[in-house]
Amino acid sequence: MGKIKITLEDLFNLPSAVIYNPDRYKPVSIVQIDSRKIVKGSLFVAIKGEKFDGHDFVKDVVKKGAGAVIIDCRMLSKFNSIETLLITVEDTTITLGNLANIWRNKLKAKVVSITGSTGKTTTKEIAATLLSEKYKVVKTEANNNNHIGVPLTILSADEKCDVLVLEQGTNHIGEIPYSVKISEPDISIITNIGESHIEFLKNKQMVYKEKSALFDATEKRGGIILANTDDPIIKKNVKRYSNVVSFGFQGNPYIKGKINGFNDDGKTKIKISGSKSAIDLPIYGESGAKNFLAAAVIAKLLGLSNDEIKKGTRKLFPVHGRLEVKKYSNALVIDDTYNSSPASINAAYDLVKHIKTFKSKIVVLGDIFELGKHSPKIHKELSKIFSYDKNLFVLTIGKMMSNLTAELRKKKIKSIHFHLREALSLYLQYEEIDNSVILVKGSRGMKMEEFVNILEKRFE
Protein backbone atom coordinates (compact mmCIF):
# COMPACT_ATOMS: atom_id res chain seq x y z
CA MET A 1 0.00 0.00 0.00
CA GLY A 2 1.33 3.42 -0.96
CA LYS A 3 1.57 6.44 1.26
CA ILE A 4 -1.68 8.01 2.34
CA LYS A 5 -2.03 11.47 0.83
CA ILE A 6 -4.45 14.36 0.79
CA THR A 7 -5.21 14.97 -2.88
CA LEU A 8 -6.43 18.09 -4.65
CA GLU A 9 -9.81 16.37 -5.06
CA ASP A 10 -9.94 15.91 -1.26
CA LEU A 11 -9.35 19.63 -0.80
CA PHE A 12 -12.08 20.56 -3.27
CA ASN A 13 -14.47 18.33 -1.29
CA LEU A 14 -13.87 20.27 1.95
CA PRO A 15 -17.02 22.21 2.93
CA SER A 16 -16.74 25.99 2.32
CA ALA A 17 -13.27 25.62 0.76
CA VAL A 18 -12.10 28.13 -1.85
CA ILE A 19 -8.77 27.17 -3.44
CA TYR A 20 -6.16 29.56 -4.82
CA ASN A 21 -3.16 28.51 -6.94
CA PRO A 22 -4.35 24.88 -7.38
CA ASP A 23 -1.82 24.23 -10.18
CA ARG A 24 0.98 24.46 -7.61
CA TYR A 25 -0.38 21.64 -5.43
CA LYS A 26 1.24 18.25 -4.96
CA PRO A 27 -0.54 15.65 -2.78
CA VAL A 28 0.65 15.81 0.83
CA SER A 29 1.20 13.07 3.41
CA ILE A 30 1.71 15.33 6.44
CA VAL A 31 -0.88 17.65 8.00
CA GLN A 32 0.26 19.99 10.78
CA ILE A 33 -1.09 22.77 13.00
CA ASP A 34 2.27 23.39 14.71
CA SER A 35 4.50 25.65 12.63
CA ARG A 36 7.59 24.30 14.39
CA LYS A 37 6.97 20.82 12.95
CA ILE A 38 6.50 21.88 9.34
CA VAL A 39 8.62 20.03 6.80
CA LYS A 40 8.80 20.63 3.06
CA GLY A 41 5.60 19.68 1.26
CA SER A 42 3.34 19.46 4.32
CA LEU A 43 -0.13 20.98 4.71
CA PHE A 44 -0.48 23.61 7.42
CA VAL A 45 -3.86 24.35 9.01
CA ALA A 46 -3.93 27.69 10.83
CA ILE A 47 -5.85 27.13 14.07
CA LYS A 48 -6.67 29.93 16.50
CA GLY A 49 -6.14 28.58 20.03
CA GLU A 50 -6.19 29.99 23.55
CA LYS A 51 -2.52 31.03 23.48
CA PHE A 52 -1.52 31.16 19.82
CA ASP A 53 -3.09 31.94 16.48
CA GLY A 54 -1.72 29.82 13.64
CA HIS A 55 -2.35 32.67 11.22
CA ASP A 56 0.57 34.49 12.84
CA PHE A 57 2.90 31.78 11.50
CA VAL A 58 1.59 31.33 7.96
CA LYS A 59 4.43 33.25 6.33
CA ASP A 60 6.96 31.26 8.37
CA VAL A 61 5.59 27.89 7.21
CA VAL A 62 5.57 29.05 3.61
CA LYS A 63 9.29 29.91 3.95
CA LYS A 64 9.87 26.43 5.39
CA GLY A 65 8.37 24.90 2.26
CA ALA A 66 4.80 24.04 3.25
CA GLY A 67 2.99 22.66 0.21
CA ALA A 68 -0.36 24.16 1.12
CA VAL A 69 -1.93 26.39 3.78
CA ILE A 70 -5.50 26.48 5.07
CA ILE A 71 -6.65 29.76 6.57
CA ASP A 72 -9.83 31.42 7.82
CA CYS A 73 -11.59 33.12 4.89
CA ARG A 74 -11.70 36.38 6.85
CA MET A 75 -7.89 36.48 6.79
CA LEU A 76 -7.51 36.26 3.00
CA SER A 77 -6.50 39.89 2.46
CA LYS A 78 -3.52 39.36 4.75
CA PHE A 79 -2.15 36.48 2.66
CA ASN A 80 -3.42 37.00 -0.90
CA SER A 81 0.14 37.55 -2.14
CA ILE A 82 1.25 34.02 -1.13
CA GLU A 83 2.09 31.87 -4.15
CA THR A 84 1.76 28.53 -2.33
CA LEU A 85 -1.58 26.71 -2.65
CA LEU A 86 -3.95 28.61 -0.34
CA ILE A 87 -7.31 27.31 0.87
CA THR A 88 -9.80 29.52 2.69
CA VAL A 89 -12.56 28.01 4.83
CA GLU A 90 -15.18 29.30 7.25
CA ASP A 91 -13.75 27.43 10.26
CA THR A 92 -10.22 26.00 10.25
CA THR A 93 -10.84 23.85 13.35
CA ILE A 94 -13.78 22.09 11.70
CA THR A 95 -11.73 21.74 8.53
CA LEU A 96 -8.99 19.98 10.52
CA GLY A 97 -11.66 17.50 11.61
CA ASN A 98 -12.84 17.07 8.00
CA LEU A 99 -9.28 16.36 6.87
CA ALA A 100 -8.89 13.82 9.66
CA ASN A 101 -12.08 12.05 8.58
CA ILE A 102 -10.80 11.87 5.01
CA TRP A 103 -7.55 10.44 6.37
CA ARG A 104 -9.37 7.98 8.62
CA ASN A 105 -11.21 6.53 5.62
CA LYS A 106 -7.93 6.03 3.75
CA LEU A 107 -6.44 4.05 6.66
CA LYS A 108 -6.55 0.26 6.58
CA ALA A 109 -6.36 0.28 10.38
CA LYS A 110 -9.11 -0.81 12.75
CA VAL A 111 -10.16 2.18 14.86
CA VAL A 112 -10.78 1.55 18.57
CA SER A 113 -12.40 4.44 20.46
CA ILE A 114 -12.38 4.60 24.26
CA THR A 115 -14.25 6.99 26.53
CA GLY A 116 -15.60 6.94 30.09
CA SER A 117 -15.76 9.00 33.27
CA THR A 118 -12.66 7.33 34.73
CA GLY A 119 -10.03 4.91 33.48
CA LYS A 120 -10.08 5.80 29.80
CA THR A 121 -6.43 6.89 29.61
CA THR A 122 -5.16 3.85 31.52
CA THR A 123 -7.36 1.51 29.46
CA LYS A 124 -6.04 3.13 26.28
CA GLU A 125 -2.42 2.67 27.38
CA ILE A 126 -2.96 -0.95 28.40
CA ALA A 127 -4.83 -1.78 25.19
CA ALA A 128 -2.11 -0.21 23.02
CA THR A 129 0.61 -2.14 24.87
CA LEU A 130 -1.19 -5.48 24.54
CA LEU A 131 -2.07 -4.94 20.87
CA SER A 132 1.55 -4.09 20.10
CA GLU A 133 2.36 -7.78 20.61
CA LYS A 134 0.72 -8.49 17.27
CA TYR A 135 0.12 -5.23 15.44
CA LYS A 136 1.58 -1.84 14.57
CA VAL A 137 -0.37 0.45 16.86
CA VAL A 138 -0.85 4.22 16.93
CA LYS A 139 -2.50 5.67 20.05
CA THR A 140 -3.61 8.95 21.55
CA GLU A 141 -0.57 10.52 23.21
CA ALA A 142 -0.89 11.95 26.72
CA ASN A 143 -4.42 13.28 27.17
CA ASN A 144 -4.80 14.56 23.62
CA ASN A 145 -8.46 13.52 23.47
CA ASN A 146 -10.48 16.61 22.52
CA HIS A 147 -11.83 18.16 19.29
CA ILE A 148 -8.27 19.04 18.26
CA GLY A 149 -6.45 16.03 19.73
CA VAL A 150 -8.62 13.36 18.10
CA PRO A 151 -8.06 14.69 14.55
CA LEU A 152 -4.32 15.09 15.16
CA THR A 153 -4.04 11.51 16.44
CA ILE A 154 -5.84 10.18 13.38
CA LEU A 155 -3.58 12.23 11.11
CA SER A 156 -0.50 10.82 12.88
CA ALA A 157 -1.31 7.28 11.72
CA ASP A 158 0.11 6.08 8.41
CA GLU A 159 -0.53 3.30 5.93
CA LYS A 160 1.46 0.84 8.07
CA CYS A 161 -0.83 1.27 11.07
CA ASP A 162 -2.91 -1.83 11.90
CA VAL A 163 -4.82 -0.51 14.91
CA LEU A 164 -5.53 3.08 15.90
CA VAL A 165 -6.42 3.38 19.61
CA LEU A 166 -8.21 6.65 20.31
CA GLU A 167 -9.13 8.20 23.63
CA GLN A 168 -12.15 10.47 23.18
CA GLY A 169 -12.97 12.82 26.03
CA THR A 170 -15.63 15.39 26.81
CA ASN A 171 -16.62 18.01 29.33
CA HIS A 172 -19.29 19.80 27.31
CA ILE A 173 -22.36 18.55 25.47
CA GLY A 174 -21.61 17.81 21.83
CA GLU A 175 -17.86 17.11 22.01
CA ILE A 176 -18.08 13.34 21.57
CA PRO A 177 -20.81 13.47 18.89
CA TYR A 178 -18.48 15.81 17.00
CA SER A 179 -15.31 13.75 17.39
CA VAL A 180 -16.92 10.37 16.58
CA LYS A 181 -18.13 11.71 13.23
CA ILE A 182 -14.43 12.13 12.52
CA SER A 183 -13.16 8.85 13.98
CA GLU A 184 -15.97 6.48 12.84
CA PRO A 185 -14.96 3.69 15.27
CA ASP A 186 -14.90 -0.02 14.38
CA ILE A 187 -14.83 -0.91 18.08
CA SER A 188 -15.96 1.30 20.94
CA ILE A 189 -15.97 1.09 24.71
CA ILE A 190 -17.25 3.25 27.56
CA THR A 191 -15.30 2.33 30.69
CA ASN A 192 -17.97 3.64 33.10
CA ILE A 193 -20.40 6.46 33.81
CA GLY A 194 -19.60 8.74 36.75
CA GLU A 195 -19.92 12.33 37.89
CA SER A 196 -16.94 13.76 35.99
CA HIS A 197 -17.78 17.14 34.35
CA ILE A 198 -21.26 17.08 35.89
CA GLU A 199 -21.14 20.90 36.03
CA PHE A 200 -21.69 20.92 32.27
CA LEU A 201 -23.36 17.53 31.72
CA LYS A 202 -25.87 17.99 34.60
CA ASN A 203 -26.33 14.35 35.73
CA LYS A 204 -25.16 10.79 35.07
CA GLN A 205 -27.85 10.17 32.46
CA MET A 206 -26.64 13.21 30.51
CA VAL A 207 -23.06 11.94 30.90
CA TYR A 208 -24.18 8.65 29.34
CA LYS A 209 -26.13 10.41 26.58
CA GLU A 210 -23.00 12.37 25.63
CA LYS A 211 -20.69 9.38 25.70
CA SER A 212 -23.13 6.99 24.00
CA ALA A 213 -22.56 8.89 20.76
CA LEU A 214 -19.53 6.58 20.57
CA PHE A 215 -21.86 3.55 20.51
CA ASP A 216 -24.20 5.21 18.01
CA ALA A 217 -21.38 5.88 15.56
CA THR A 218 -20.02 2.35 15.95
CA GLU A 219 -23.44 0.81 15.36
CA LYS A 220 -23.89 2.97 12.24
CA ARG A 221 -20.56 1.71 10.91
CA GLY A 222 -21.47 -1.93 11.64
CA GLY A 223 -18.79 -2.19 14.31
CA ILE A 224 -18.68 -3.85 17.72
CA ILE A 225 -19.77 -2.25 21.00
CA LEU A 226 -18.03 -3.38 24.18
CA ALA A 227 -20.34 -2.98 27.16
CA ASN A 228 -19.18 -2.89 30.77
CA THR A 229 -22.29 -4.47 32.29
CA ASP A 230 -21.00 -3.83 35.84
CA ASP A 231 -22.06 -0.24 35.23
CA PRO A 232 -25.85 -0.08 35.75
CA ILE A 233 -26.42 2.81 33.33
CA ILE A 234 -24.47 1.13 30.53
CA LYS A 235 -26.15 -2.22 31.23
CA LYS A 236 -29.62 -0.66 31.03
CA ASN A 237 -29.04 1.36 27.87
CA VAL A 238 -26.87 -0.95 25.78
CA LYS A 239 -29.77 -3.32 25.08
CA ARG A 240 -30.85 -1.23 22.11
CA TYR A 241 -27.68 -1.97 20.17
CA SER A 242 -27.31 -5.07 18.01
CA ASN A 243 -23.63 -6.02 17.96
CA VAL A 244 -22.62 -6.01 21.64
CA VAL A 245 -19.90 -7.90 23.54
CA SER A 246 -20.48 -7.65 27.30
CA PHE A 247 -17.75 -7.83 29.92
CA GLY A 248 -17.40 -7.31 33.64
CA PHE A 249 -16.78 -8.92 37.02
CA GLN A 250 -20.42 -9.42 38.03
CA GLY A 251 -23.27 -11.53 36.67
CA ASN A 252 -22.80 -13.45 33.42
CA PRO A 253 -21.17 -11.21 30.81
CA TYR A 254 -19.73 -12.74 27.65
CA ILE A 255 -16.19 -12.14 28.96
CA LYS A 256 -15.90 -12.27 32.74
CA GLY A 257 -13.04 -11.26 35.00
CA LYS A 258 -12.31 -12.38 38.51
CA ILE A 259 -9.87 -10.76 40.92
CA ASN A 260 -7.89 -13.55 42.58
CA GLY A 261 -6.49 -11.42 45.37
CA PHE A 262 -3.92 -8.72 46.05
CA ASN A 263 -0.29 -8.91 47.06
CA ASP A 264 1.05 -6.81 49.95
CA ASP A 265 1.77 -3.74 47.83
CA GLY A 266 -1.66 -3.67 46.18
CA LYS A 267 -0.98 -5.36 42.85
CA THR A 268 -3.74 -7.68 41.66
CA LYS A 269 -4.11 -11.12 40.13
CA ILE A 270 -6.88 -11.44 37.56
CA LYS A 271 -8.49 -14.46 35.89
CA ILE A 272 -10.31 -13.90 32.60
CA SER A 273 -12.82 -16.38 31.21
CA GLY A 274 -11.24 -18.50 28.51
CA SER A 275 -7.75 -18.40 30.03
CA LYS A 276 -6.35 -21.31 32.04
CA SER A 277 -4.52 -19.33 34.71
CA ALA A 278 -4.62 -16.00 36.51
CA ILE A 279 -2.40 -13.11 35.39
CA ASP A 280 -0.22 -11.20 37.85
CA LEU A 281 -0.72 -7.56 36.96
CA PRO A 282 2.15 -5.07 37.28
CA ILE A 283 -0.46 -2.35 37.87
CA TYR A 284 -2.30 -1.52 41.06
CA GLY A 285 -5.68 -1.86 42.70
CA GLU A 286 -9.13 -3.03 41.75
CA SER A 287 -9.50 -0.11 39.34
CA GLY A 288 -6.32 -1.25 37.59
CA ALA A 289 -7.82 -4.71 37.22
CA LYS A 290 -11.01 -3.22 35.75
CA ASN A 291 -9.03 -1.19 33.23
CA PHE A 292 -6.97 -4.26 32.35
CA LEU A 293 -10.09 -6.37 31.74
CA ALA A 294 -11.50 -3.72 29.39
CA ALA A 295 -8.21 -3.58 27.46
CA ALA A 296 -7.91 -7.38 27.36
CA VAL A 297 -11.40 -7.63 25.86
CA ILE A 298 -10.30 -5.27 23.08
CA ALA A 299 -7.18 -7.39 22.52
CA LYS A 300 -9.16 -10.64 22.43
CA LEU A 301 -11.65 -9.15 20.00
CA LEU A 302 -8.78 -8.22 17.68
CA GLY A 303 -7.38 -11.73 17.70
CA LEU A 304 -4.69 -11.81 20.38
CA SER A 305 -4.16 -15.16 22.07
CA ASN A 306 -4.04 -15.58 25.85
CA ASP A 307 -0.28 -16.10 25.56
CA GLU A 308 0.13 -12.84 23.62
CA ILE A 309 -1.94 -11.01 26.23
CA LYS A 310 0.19 -12.45 29.05
CA LYS A 311 3.37 -11.50 27.22
CA GLY A 312 2.11 -7.95 26.68
CA THR A 313 1.08 -7.70 30.33
CA ARG A 314 4.71 -8.02 31.41
CA LYS A 315 5.44 -4.76 29.56
CA LEU A 316 2.81 -2.73 31.42
CA PHE A 317 3.57 0.00 33.91
CA PRO A 318 1.37 2.60 35.63
CA VAL A 319 0.50 5.72 33.66
CA HIS A 320 2.19 8.80 35.14
CA GLY A 321 -0.01 10.46 37.75
CA ARG A 322 -2.61 7.68 37.67
CA LEU A 323 -2.28 5.32 40.64
CA GLU A 324 1.47 5.54 40.15
CA VAL A 325 3.05 3.84 43.18
CA LYS A 326 6.46 5.09 44.30
CA LYS A 327 8.26 2.92 46.82
CA TYR A 328 10.75 4.18 49.37
CA SER A 329 12.41 2.47 52.33
CA ASN A 330 10.17 4.21 54.87
CA ALA A 331 7.08 5.18 52.83
CA LEU A 332 4.96 4.34 49.83
CA VAL A 333 3.57 7.28 47.85
CA ILE A 334 0.63 6.89 45.47
CA ASP A 335 0.62 9.64 42.83
CA ASP A 336 -2.94 9.89 41.51
CA THR A 337 -2.74 13.59 40.78
CA TYR A 338 -3.68 13.74 37.13
CA ASN A 339 -7.36 14.35 37.84
CA SER A 340 -10.13 13.53 40.27
CA SER A 341 -13.75 12.47 40.63
CA PRO A 342 -15.75 10.76 43.39
CA ALA A 343 -15.38 7.39 41.66
CA SER A 344 -11.62 7.73 41.21
CA ILE A 345 -11.15 8.80 44.85
CA ASN A 346 -13.07 5.69 45.87
CA ALA A 347 -10.87 3.53 43.64
CA ALA A 348 -7.67 5.14 44.91
CA TYR A 349 -8.62 4.70 48.55
CA ASP A 350 -9.58 1.09 47.85
CA LEU A 351 -5.98 0.57 46.74
CA VAL A 352 -4.70 2.22 49.93
CA LYS A 353 -6.74 -0.25 52.00
CA HIS A 354 -5.25 -3.23 50.17
CA ILE A 355 -1.64 -2.19 50.73
CA LYS A 356 -0.16 -4.01 53.72
CA THR A 357 3.40 -2.68 53.48
CA PHE A 358 2.75 0.02 56.09
CA LYS A 359 -0.11 0.27 58.60
CA SER A 360 -0.38 4.06 58.71
CA LYS A 361 -2.49 5.52 55.88
CA ILE A 362 -2.41 9.22 54.90
CA VAL A 363 -4.76 10.57 52.24
CA VAL A 364 -4.05 14.04 50.81
CA LEU A 365 -7.01 15.38 48.82
CA GLY A 366 -7.56 18.52 46.78
CA ASP A 367 -10.83 19.85 45.35
CA ILE A 368 -12.73 18.12 42.56
CA PHE A 369 -13.53 20.61 39.80
CA GLU A 370 -16.39 20.88 37.27
CA LEU A 371 -19.14 19.81 39.69
CA GLY A 372 -21.02 23.11 39.51
CA LYS A 373 -23.83 23.62 42.01
CA HIS A 374 -23.49 19.99 43.13
CA SER A 375 -19.97 20.58 44.42
CA PRO A 376 -20.56 21.16 48.19
CA LYS A 377 -22.93 18.18 48.41
CA ILE A 378 -20.64 15.84 46.46
CA HIS A 379 -17.60 16.81 48.54
CA LYS A 380 -19.59 16.15 51.73
CA GLU A 381 -20.69 12.76 50.43
CA LEU A 382 -17.07 11.73 49.86
CA SER A 383 -17.10 10.95 53.60
CA LYS A 384 -19.03 7.76 52.75
CA ILE A 385 -15.87 6.41 51.16
CA PHE A 386 -14.03 6.48 54.49
CA SER A 387 -14.84 4.40 57.56
CA TYR A 388 -13.21 4.85 60.96
CA ASP A 389 -9.64 3.56 61.05
CA LYS A 390 -7.28 4.53 63.83
CA ASN A 391 -4.42 4.36 61.30
CA LEU A 392 -6.10 6.74 58.81
CA PHE A 393 -5.33 10.46 58.56
CA VAL A 394 -6.97 12.66 55.88
CA LEU A 395 -5.38 15.98 54.87
CA THR A 396 -7.42 18.29 52.65
CA ILE A 397 -6.85 21.50 50.71
CA GLY A 398 -9.19 23.67 48.65
CA LYS A 399 -12.41 25.54 49.33
CA MET A 400 -14.70 22.57 48.64
CA MET A 401 -12.67 19.97 50.54
CA SER A 402 -13.46 21.76 53.80
CA ASN A 403 -16.90 20.14 53.46
CA LEU A 404 -15.31 16.69 53.55
CA THR A 405 -13.16 17.50 56.57
CA ALA A 406 -16.22 18.63 58.54
CA GLU A 407 -18.01 15.36 57.76
CA LEU A 408 -14.98 13.22 58.62
CA ARG A 409 -14.67 14.86 62.02
CA LYS A 410 -18.29 13.91 62.74
CA LYS A 411 -17.23 10.29 62.10
CA LYS A 412 -14.22 10.71 64.43
CA ILE A 413 -11.84 10.24 61.50
CA LYS A 414 -8.63 12.22 61.97
CA SER A 415 -8.54 15.06 59.44
CA ILE A 416 -6.93 18.47 58.95
CA HIS A 417 -8.06 21.07 56.42
CA PHE A 418 -5.36 23.44 55.17
CA HIS A 419 -6.36 26.88 53.93
CA LEU A 420 -2.88 27.61 52.56
CA ARG A 421 -0.79 25.48 50.22
CA GLU A 422 2.32 26.59 52.09
CA ALA A 423 0.93 25.14 55.33
CA LEU A 424 0.27 21.75 53.75
CA SER A 425 3.70 21.82 52.12
CA LEU A 426 5.38 22.42 55.48
CA TYR A 427 3.33 19.67 57.09
CA LEU A 428 4.43 17.15 54.44
CA GLN A 429 8.05 18.24 54.77
CA TYR A 430 8.43 18.16 58.54
CA GLU A 431 5.65 16.30 60.36
CA GLU A 432 6.04 12.67 61.44
CA ILE A 433 4.61 10.80 58.45
CA ASP A 434 7.30 8.12 57.98
CA ASN A 435 6.29 4.48 57.66
CA SER A 436 3.06 5.38 55.87
CA VAL A 437 1.14 4.75 52.68
CA ILE A 438 0.46 8.26 51.33
CA LEU A 439 -2.13 8.91 48.61
CA VAL A 440 -2.12 12.31 46.87
CA LYS A 441 -5.08 13.18 44.65
CA GLY A 442 -7.03 16.15 43.29
CA SER A 443 -8.29 17.75 40.10
CA ARG A 444 -5.79 18.96 37.53
CA GLY A 445 -6.20 22.60 38.48
CA MET A 446 -5.22 21.87 42.10
CA LYS A 447 -1.65 21.02 41.00
CA MET A 448 -1.40 18.24 43.57
CA GLU A 449 1.76 16.95 41.89
CA GLU A 450 3.61 19.73 43.73
CA PHE A 451 2.91 17.87 46.99
CA VAL A 452 4.11 14.60 45.44
CA ASN A 453 7.37 16.36 44.57
CA ILE A 454 7.77 17.41 48.22
CA LEU A 455 7.26 13.83 49.36
CA GLU A 456 9.72 12.51 46.77
CA LYS A 457 12.43 14.88 48.02
CA ARG A 458 11.69 13.93 51.61
CA PHE A 459 11.84 10.17 51.16
CA GLU A 460 14.51 9.78 48.47
Residues 279-308: tens digit of each pLDDT:
999 999 999 999 999 999 999 999 999 999
Which residues does 255 contact at the CB level (< 8 Å), separation at least 6? 245, 246, 247, 272, 273, 274, 293, 296, 297, 300
Judge if 8-99 and 324-459 fold alike in CATH terms. no
pLDDT in tens, 164-213: 999 999 878 899 999 999 999 999 999 999 876 555 566 888 889 999 99
> How far is 229 from 236, CA to CA, in rounded Å?
8
| pLDDT tens-place string over residues 67-84 | 999 999 999 999 988 989
**Residuewise pLDDT in 10s, the chain (460 residues):** 589 999 999 999 999 999 999 998 999 999 999 999 999 999 999 999 888 999 999 999 999 999 999 999 999 999 988 989 999 999 999 999 999 999 999 999 999 999 999 899 999 999 999 999 999 999 999 889 999 999 999 999 999 999 999 999 987 889 999 999 999 999 999 999 987 655 556 688 888 999 999 999 999 999 999 999 999 999 999 999 999 999 999 999 999 999 999 988 889 999 999 888 899 999 999 999 999 999 999 999 999 999 999 999 999 988 899 999 999 999 999 999 999 999 999 999 999 999 999 999 999 999 999 898 899 999 999 999 999 999 999 999 999 999 999 999 999 999 999 999 999 999 999 999 999 999 999 999 999 999 999 999 999 9
| Pick from 456, 449, 424, 437: nearest CA to 337 | 449
| CATH T-level fold of 107-313 | UDP-N-acetylmuramoyl-L-alanine:D-glutamate ligase (3.40.1190)
CATH code of the domain occupying 8-99: 3.40.1390.10
Decide if domain 324-459 falls under CATH 3.90.190.20: yes
User: How is the chain split into domains, by residue range?
Assistant: 8-99, 107-313, 324-459
Could you give the CA distance from residue 85 to residue 32 in angstroms, rounded to a whole number?
A: 15
The Cα 25–Cα 46 span in angstroms is 18
